Structure 1
Amino acid sequence: MKKAILLIVFVFQSFLVIAQNGLELRHLQCEMLTNPLGIDVLQPRLSWQIITDKAEVEQIAYHVLVASSKEKLENNEADLWDSGKVESDASINVLYKGKKLNSRDDAFWKVKVWTNKGETQWSQTALWSMGILSYAEWKSTRWIGYNQLFEGDTIGQFSKLSARYVRKPIKLEKDVKEAKVYIMGMGLYELYINGEKIGNQVLAPVPTDYTKNVKYNVFDLTNKIEKGENVIGAILGNGRFFAMRQEYKPYKIKSFGFPKMAMQLVVTFEDGSKETIKTDESWKFTPYGPIRENNEYDGEVYDARMELPNWNKTGFDDSKWMNMMWVQEPGGFPEGQMTPNMKVMDVIKPKSITETKKGTYILDMGQNMAGWLQIKVKGNSGNIIKMKFAESLKDDGSLYIANLRDAQVTDTYILKGEGEEIWEPTFVYHGFRFVEISGYAYKPKLEDFVGKVVYDDLKTVGTFECSNPTMNQIFKNAYWGIRSNYKGMPIDCPQRNERQPWLGDRTTGAYGESFIFDNQTLYAKWLDDIKFSQTLDGGIPDVAPAFWRYYGDGVTWQGAYIKVADMLYQQFGDKKAIENHYLFMKKWMGYMESQYLKNDLMTQDKYGDWCVPPESLEIIRSKDPMRLTDGEVLSSSFYYHLLQLMKKFAKIIDADASDVADYDELSERIKTAFNAKYLNAKTFSYANNTVTANVLPLAFGMVPKELEEKVFQNMVHEIEVVKQGHISTGVVGTQFLMRTLTNFGRGDLAYKLASNTTYPSWGYMVENGATTIWELWNGNTADPEMNSQNHVMLLGDLMIWYYENMAGIKSSEAHPGFKQIIMKPDFNAGLSFVDATYESSYGSIKSHWTKKKNKLDWGVTIPPNTSALVYVPTADVSKVKINKQNLEGVSKHIKTEGNHLVFELKSGTYNIAVK
């Protein structure tokens, strides 16, 4: 038997991989952090994967050892936790139940498992390290900064503030055994030790409402620092902390103050003694470094003539630098950052460069993206290179920037004039495909530019390809759009003066995204952002963190709080997401009931079915009452749906039994009132018969059973005949449209919507050159006030439909986290082949099917320690072969559901042939 390899996936959820019985090891990596340091969860969750070429493998027991040192663990001396042999099939989210862990404790662990096919050896060793667990351990560490403007700085609509360069020489008198640094740098920081940048993260840390919570990052400096003279250096940028239009619109946008930092460097020496270096007034800084301006909306100005050679190394003369001052802390509680920072995740080369009549150059990256441009240039000292960013061009070939509002989106590089110079910004990012470049004294070459794609360091876990080229491009557009808008939180757009974490954009979108990216920690963090933004009386904002003071008290937007928690449970088996937030969600539900429930209907709605296709291609929001869905219909039906989820949550966490009864009672009242007011039993329609008005009660199970099919057929007529097979829903209706059509037997109509190339459709975006998803169905013609070309909110449930209904990769509600997989593709929707993969917590799930005439060939892979319920489109057992064997010889649990055979398969790879 072979030992395991290490796979660290989450900071708070350490993963190991176990090899089973002579299997060649498969190396899995997620470079989130170099080490899982800074965990501030007292009971981390442990998970592992079984990798084997054997079929039908089920875990029957596990044994976990946790020790305070690697040496002890190697000797099986588990001084922190010895679980003993635990009879269980649990291999994800296993709670640590050992001794209480203290701040900065290291925990080394390994596991072995017993399966129905034999036992493994002990895995290789994995490590997690605790963060700083109490405020008391931070309070002696002073926040330092300098609350003052300097020459060139301004505060206003276009605030400007230079970066602050900070340094501290330290002398260590003994040989270093271990060193860790704990840093909070607001708004953004870069950290250096002896001239070397620490970590590959960018734009760190992730944004929060700094008055509520502040994230710290932890790095292992053991091999970076040594006995003798050393220098700690940091650059502080502005980020969301400063210069984000706060002073321009203080009634709307929160203000946090000037950049500041707090840091502890804890050094353990070879003799066992320790020393802690903390931020204080002896640290020095200068605002007169090369980064003269850095504003997320407006860009970065870098003057290479002002570079400070060796400023972060020993021997540098800082006698003219100023001393930092003790400053007020941001107010938020320090928390270990449990989700990865952003990183340069990809690089792309431009496709073309074109000279304009005015002597500038237009660079086409060939792809709408979020990040920045690295340039290579030669010139004289003082020459100025400017880069202005946009998503598209006007007819005359110049940049189209009207949709960016007042964002200046311009980076400026001033040459020092010393041969070839290579530069990229540090504290900004842009959403762009095209760049106008000016200032070159010669015609630049394509190879002088590189696009750096920046988003959260999240693993891509899903692939999808099918027989329809339009659908494949839509998937690619979704992939680029989603990763463009992961910025430590899910934002709406990466380009204009907004970039806000709107709840409504991700109510269902987060679910679809989870099939493509391992977004568990991102959305777990976002639930905390929402919780921290809740008002004392229970209200929840429209954006969270609440950088904008928008508290609209809607249901369809704020309901994201509950829907995202459900996604984390369903897709990742993350029960903690429900346990940690249940009381806050319950408080919000009660708040909405007390404030807005009138005659058993929810009366408050703010945004309607946002962005329905309008009656004119030039306008943003429809005024046609026949296209618009009554806000009370939206909020009442959605609130009913959320009550069902709260009932589910109450059962999952064993909440007070009265909660379930209360949810049931209120649900029935709302359903009764809703149907009484809005259901027309003669026309089998709801309200004014928009598709959204009908799809929501159908999706949520509110329609009386005897009328369900007729309401559905009425909705189909509206789509198929009235709308001529085109989409007519906005953000809310689109979240449930594709799955509801398929679940009621019209996957072919869902396919038509997914593959359309005429307006309005996702394919229309593709036909018109989109490489991401637009904010508006008519994003190429609408008023520029609101037509971002890189949004994801209109995806609705499309990506869920791709995976669950076309590929047949769905997590069972009874056994979440893909412990049991529901594999039920709609083979008759219109596709002739689908090839999809999804890397679940248990391992890789694959579904590849090809349909030719009356023959179906379907290959599936089910990971170890899981099973699948497989649906094939025949009721005749004799027509099904699995791995060339009769179905009865492979599965003993076969039943018939309508025109499908349903049977269970254990883990393994299978080729299913159906005549």
Structure 2
Amino acid sequence: MKLRLIPFILLGLAAVSCAPKQNPDDPFAGAKWIGTSEKVLYADFLPQYIISADITLPDETSSASLLMGGNDPRLMDADLNIMRVANGKDESFVRVELDRKGKCLNVYRTGYTKEDVPGKVLRSLPVADSLLTDLPSRLTVTVTYSELRILLDGANIGQVNVGPLGHGGDYIAYPQLSDIGWLVEAGRTGRVSDIDVQEIRKPNAVLYHHDGMAEAGTDQLVLTDPSFGAMPVLRSSFKVKGKDIESATLSATARGIYEININDARVGEDFLTPGLSQYNKHHYYQVYDVTSLLKDGKNGIMVSLAEGWWSGDITFGGGNRNYFGDQLAFLARLDVQFADGSAQTFVTDPSRWEVTVDGPVVYASLFQGQVTDARRSLADAVWHPAEEMVLEGHVSDATFGQTAPRTDEYSEWQLVRQADPSPSVFTVLTAQSIKEIRPGVFVYDMGQNFAGIPSVSLKGLREGQPLRFRYAEVLYPDMPEYEGDEGMLMLENIRGAMAQDIYIASGAAEELFEPHFTQHGYRYLEITGVDSAPAPADVKGLVISSVQDFSAHYESSNPLVNRLWENIRWSMLGNFISIPTDCPQRNERMGWSGDLSVFSRTVTYLSDVDAFLTRHTQAIRDVQMPDGRMPDVAPLGGAFGGLLWGSAGITVPYEAYRQYADTAILELNYDAMRHYMTLIDEKYIEKGTGLMTQGNRGFGGLGDWLGPQNGQLDNSAIWDAYYIFDLQIMVEAARVLGRGEDEALFARRLAERKTEYVDRYLDKKTGRFIASEYVRGRAGQAIHIQSSYVLPLAFGIIEDEALRKKVLNNLVDTIRKPGRTDNGIVCPPNSLMTGFITTAWISKALSDNGRSDMAYNLLQQTSYPSWLYPVTQGATTIWERLDSYTKERGFGGNNSMNSFNHYSFGAVGQWLMAYSLGIDRDPSAPGFRHFVLHPEADPTGKMTWARGWYDTPYGRISSSWKRIGGKVEYEFTIPEGCSATLRIPGVREQELSAGHYTF
């Protein structure tokens, strides 16, 4: 049954009154946030935590140990780790020992690598005599992605890395909490008591407590699994009058993510609602039409909750778990309108709801995965009254870095009806093949890298049979470096995310595994624990995205370019899930502004994302700092990108305005945009010199991120060019919004800054780029690389035609000649030597200045580095690095920070639409009611035809060209109500009205 999501709000159930229709100003009148204060812990999926205990050492020879990370299932099966260890029970753990005799604290690691020696100290830290007494001492170990920070009675003892692969968010995390315990060695005395496991982030809620105890001097190792509970499920019932129902709308939201069933039917087709936002500023709700689900008399409702972004992992920093709060809650209101004009209202009220933590979803995390025990039945669960959930005492006062706002500040909080689409199933994939890589290890190729969840039909499983599902974008190749792991999942780039699901079978004849409370980025699915592998036809992949459909298409005579186009679209699908993320698979999935800024012109062609971007720019404003600084990441705020990332607060609203003629998004963001420009003028530009330093001559922010020659660039120039681009946007925004004084101010500043840019960075005789004094030891030296020349050409900074031609020739020269990367690799002519920022503009810079031949050369280059090299290596999405994988160097040592689904380098999509097809915006008429047709047929002749379309609100624009002999034939369609300016070689510029044309 397909339910309609009313664009914008959601539920709960105590009958309050017979009320009029829902008041739009108070959509949840009478409703309360409900849930349970009971905690849930799944220890094998917790890589960040605080574990503490009282250690009592009664004499000078005493010692006692606190244990964690014991019996991690990954370390008990050589197929689940790349260290190839397979431990038996109680053979793997991390031990922190307080040794009074040695006046030290010893850290041991056992069973994590083949080189680990039981009883051998990994690291010893000295302890002051004053901390070693007969009295209990509180030993506190904070574990964050393999790094242990150890305190004794509040005194910092030191930090120890116990990760076999590295420590921090860039590596697979060991130890998970897993089994915990204690040990007192033979011949020693000591006591371990009052063991606590707490959340790592304030207010550090206690997840688990054990009285502890140690058998003095027995060498008895005690390990126990502290896991308990399951994700909360709420239920209620309500009676509907025996009347004809005219309509029933359900408004709902959650702290966490939710899924609702009414009368055993799922409400809506959404996933991960209410999505991510800066919850303490704007918290979104959804509204569903549930008329068809209600029946006369008694109705039942059930709501499942999971962590989502509210209390789960949310960044690559392990300390940011439970970022917005440590308790889940649900809020809802149901409004039923009858045909006779009467109404009923039902709301969430703890007095009418029950809750259980005994359900089948044992644990669910966006990063770590979902654990489902299908043996558990909600009918048999222990239910008890729900509680009203409050924020006080459950929200941290910490921030994501120094330039991010606090999350316990709710003075501007609003509950807002959602206007953009929620994530839903875009399409369903079927596994293309299966291989048994090792005995019992079955790897399925879905044929496409994507973001979503599996849907696997299972047959003939035994009751209690555990299955494990793991996910990866790539497999280890057959190369000496990876000998023994060939064909296995490469999970190093997933880093601190577990990215695995566990399913414990019910024993039914047929079972379906479909985890709704997590999300994975993958092409390859590994299934273990089955006696016989499911057939590929039974292994589906639900592609989940906030994108509902595509509004643009491109194809050409070059099949590799066609695959590039598809890769761009797939990377958009995978990274537009509630927010625009950088990547959908590893322990990051954050709204990095720089990525979106460069991709925003492309994405506005690919789909109608006006409402999506409106919501996201609200998140940007929500975390803008009081001094005007725009965030590098939104939601959350903060980070280290600087002006190129912060400029998304200006460029993204502008691109939406230009594409959709949406002046409202400009109006909503204008004051924030203006505030940011004031910050740049006052803080980022050095007084006296006028140099763009972002207030720091050492590190002002990121440059042309991941460019092969980024280390050779003068970052101040690329920042300055983007500042000029921002000024251009502000001039237009002020004009459109009728801010005359601002328009004049920005226009004057723009003219001044253009002149300063040319004077500072360009040699007027040669057109060569000259390093500024920002580049230590290189001021005045030429920097002759592609990235230096792109932005001044793309942004029209150089007004002198003769100088502009010289700069263009220099750019062409850098393309025609071999380039050398920062690490010394010599790349062939026509290589793409640009990073995230300048790659988005290099093709435009060439075509705007009459060199589309070079743009096509870059486009169709197949050797590294290029857009098509990944395609030749089998890429089905855009990669984070131009060399994420090469057949010569494998992953090139970049096994960790290496996403294979990262849309930034896909920003060439806007050039394919606006230049190759020539479906371009009219600078004086946003929204495509009037537009420009100026297709650029490939002058090199390598591409012989191209065709495509763009769907506007008025209809479909189509454009094609085909080279036949020495001529080019063009064909266009202009929808009703639209017109276009035509500019093609050999035909005078002319205005075309609606119709079909050939030339």
**Which of the five TM-score ranges fits, normalised by the shorter chain?**
0.7 to 0.9
Instruction: Flag the 1:104–1:562 CA change in 2: closer, same or farther, 3 A.
Output: farther
Instruction: Flag the 1:390–1:35 CA change in 2: closer, same or farther, 3 A.
Output: closer
Instruction: Flag the 1:319–1:693 CA change in 2: closer, same or farther, 3 A.
Output: closer
Alignment-derived partner of residue 398 in structure 2 = none
Counterpart mapping for 1:357-756 below 5 A: 357-377=438-458, 378-394=460-476, 395=478, 396-546=486-636, 549-552=637-640, 554-598=642-686, 599-604=689-694, 605-613=700-708, 625=711, 628-655=712-739, 657-687=740-770, 688-705=783-800, 706-723=802-819, 724-756=829-861
Q: Is the 8 A contact 1:389 1:409 kept in 2?
A: yes
Instruction: Give, as a single letter, the amino acid of the residue that structure 2 aligns with 1:642.
Output: D
Instruction: Flag the 1:484–1:747 CA change in 2: closer, same or farther, 3 A.
Output: same
Give the drift of 1:660.
1.5
Give the drift of 1:244.
0.9
Alignment-derived partner of residue 240 in structure 2 = 172
Q: Which of 966, 969, 982 is equivalent to 1:857?
A: 969
Q: Is the 8 A contact 1:174 1:270 kept in 2?
A: no
Q: Please give the per-residue CA displacement for 1:271-290, whole angstroms capped at 9, x wherever unaligned.
A: 32222211111211111100
SS in 2 for 1:241: helix
Larger gyration radius, structure 1 or structure 2: 2
Q: Is the 8 A contact 2:878 2:903 kept in 1?
A: yes
Q: Is the 8 A contact 2:547 2:576 kept in 1?
A: no
Counterpart mapping for 1:41-120 below 5 A: none
Give the drift of 1:104.
9.7
- After alignment, is 573-582 or 171-180 more displaced? 171-180
Q: Distance in 1 between matches of 2:905 and 2:322?
A: 26
Q: Which of 419, 424, 434 is equivalent to 1:338?
A: 419
Give the drift of 1:722.
4.1
Counterpart mapping for 1:762-911 below 5 A: 762-780=867-885, 781-782=891-892, 783-796=894-907, 798-829=908-939, 830=941, 831-874=943-986, 900-911=987-998
Q: Distance in 1 between matches of 2:786 and 2:7?
A: 49
SS in 2 for 1:380: coil
Instruction: Flag the 1:151–1:339 CA change in 2: closer, same or farther, 3 A.
Output: closer
SS in 2 for 1:366: strand
Alignment-derived partner of residue 892 in structure 1 = none
Instruction: Flag the 1:674–1:319 CA change in 2: closer, same or farther, 3 A.
Output: closer
Give the drift of 1:421.
0.8
Counterpart mapping for 1:231-310 below 5 A: 231-244=300-313, 249-250=318-319, 254-282=323-351, 283-309=353-379
Instruction: Give, as a single letter, the amino acid of the residue that structure 2 aligns with 1:164.
Output: P
Q: Is the 8 A contact 1:297 1:497 kept in 2?
A: yes
Q: Distance in 2 between matches of 1:746 and 1:262?
A: 58
Instruction: Give, as a single letter, the amino acid of the residue that structure 1 aligns with 2:764.
Output: A
SS in 2 for 1:864: coil
**Does 2:244 match 1:162?**
no
Give the drift of 1:33.
7.4
Q: Is the 8 A contact 1:389 1:432 kept in 2?
A: yes
SS in 1 for 2:454: strand
Q: Is the 8 A contact 1:143 1:328 kept in 2?
A: no
Q: Is the 8 A contact 1:171 1:228 kept in 2?
A: yes
Q: Please give the per-residue CA displacement for 1:567-626, whole angstroms capped at 9, x wherever unaligned.
A: 111111111110111011101111222111123332124111101126xxxxxxx6xx4x
Q: Distance in 2 between matches of 1:401 and 1:247?
A: 15
Q: Distance in 1 between matches of 2:463 and 2:667?
A: 60
Give the drift of 1:35.
5.3
TM-score normalized with structure 2 length:
0.72
Instruction: Flag the 1:835–1:289 CA change in 2: closer, same or farther, 3 A.
Output: same
Q: Distance in 2 between matches of 1:392 and 1:905?
A: 49
Instruction: Give, as a single letter, the amino acid of the residue that structure 1 aligns with 2:391.
Output: Q
TM-score normalized with structure 1 length:
0.78
Instruction: Flag the 1:322–1:342 CA change in 2: closer, same or farther, 3 A.
Output: same
Instruction: Give, as a single letter, the amino acid of the residue that structure 1 aligns with 2:414.
Output: F
Give the drift of 1:449.
0.8
Q: Is the 8 A contact 2:253 2:284 kept in 1?
A: yes
Give the drift of 1:326.
3.6
Give the drift of 1:635.
1.2
Q: Distance in 2 between matches of 1:288 and 1:861?
A: 60
SS in 1 for 2:817: helix
Q: Name structure 2 gaps, 5 residues minimum.
A: 11-18, 50-143, 145-175, 177-198, 200-226, 396-409, 479-485, 695-699, 771-782, 820-828, 886-890
Instruction: Flag the 1:358–1:104 CA change in 2: closer, same or farther, 3 A.
Output: farther
Instruction: Give, as a single letter, the amino acid of the residue that structure 2 aligns with 1:556.
Output: L
Q: Distance in 2 between matches of 1:274 and 1:602?
A: 62
Q: Is the 8 A contact 2:794 2:848 kept in 1?
A: no
Percent identity (aligned): 30
SS in 1 for 2:501: strand
Instruction: Give, as a single letter, the amino acid of the residue that structure 2 aligns with 1:367.
Output: Q
SS in 2 for 1:167: strand
SS in 2 for 1:686: coil
Q: Please give the per-residue CA displacement for 1:658-693, whole angstroms capped at 9, x wherever unaligned.
A: 211211222233223222221112331223232222
**Does 2:118 match 1:34?**
no
Q: Distance in 1 between matches of 2:328 and 2:321?
A: 21
Q: Distance in 1 between matches of 2:871 and 2:374?
A: 41
- After alignment, is 428-437 or 601-610 more displaced? 601-610
- After alignment, is 861-870 or 369-378 more displaced? 369-378
Q: Distance in 1 between matches of 2:654 and 2:308?
A: 31
Instruction: Give, as a single letter, the amino acid of the residue that structure 2 aligns with 1:321.
Output: H
Q: Distance in 1 between matches of 2:383 and 2:818?
A: 75
Q: Distance in 1 between matches of 2:281 and 2:589?
A: 20
Instruction: Flag the 1:761–1:637 CA change in 2: closer, same or farther, 3 A.
Output: same
Instruction: Give, as a single letter, the amino acid of the residue that structure 1 aligns with 2:954.
Output: Y
Q: Distance in 2 between matches of 1:740 and 1:594?
A: 30
Instruction: Give, as a single letter, the amino acid of the residue that structure 2 aligns with 1:340.
Output: P
Aligned CA RMSD, in angstroms, stands at 2.4
Q: Is the 8 A contact 1:811 1:819 kept in 2?
A: no
Give the drift of 1:855.
3.0
SS in 1 for 2:946: strand
Q: Please give the per-residue CA displacement for 1:479-499, whole angstroms capped at 9, x wherever unaligned.
A: 111111111111011111000
Q: Which of 32, 47, 66 is equivalent to 1:142?
A: 32
Q: Distance in 2 between matches of 1:39 and 1:183?
A: 6
Alignment-derived partner of residue 228 in structure 1 = 297
Give the drift of 1:299.
0.6
Give the drift of 1:173.
3.1
Give the drift of 1:424.
0.6
Q: Distance in 2 between matches of 1:432 and 1:162?
A: 26
SS in 2 for 1:593: helix
